[in-house]
Amino acid sequence: MGPLRKLYNIIIYIYSSANYIKEFKTLAGRIIPLNNRTRWNSWYLMLVVAIEKAGAIDTYLKNNFTLLEKDYLYLSDWD
């Protein structure tokens, strides 16, 4: 599974619960926009925010490692 799929899975996980959204928003100060089929640049916008909030994503993954272990983004995935 590549890094884009891992990131997508993480974002879907965050959006799956209001508590997860609140926890991530507390860490990052905002939520990562989810891609959609009707906006051609939605993947781009998702990636731009994810890169800006890479530290918050990493902290969130470490806090929830047991649930997101298969989608953990290692440093090599960001290259």
> Of 2, 11, 4, nearest to 68 (Cα)?
11
Q: How far is CA 43 from CA 50, 61, 65, 67, 69, in A?
A: 10, 21, 25, 24, 23
Q: How many Cα atoms are found within 13 Å in the side-chain-facing hemisphere of 73? A: 23
For residue 70, give both structure tokens: 């298969």
The CB density around residue 68, as the number of other CB atoms within 10 Å, is 18
**pLDDT tens digits, one per residue of 53-64:** 999 998 998 998
Indicate the pTM of the whole model: 0.82
Is the pLDDT score of 77 beyond 90? no
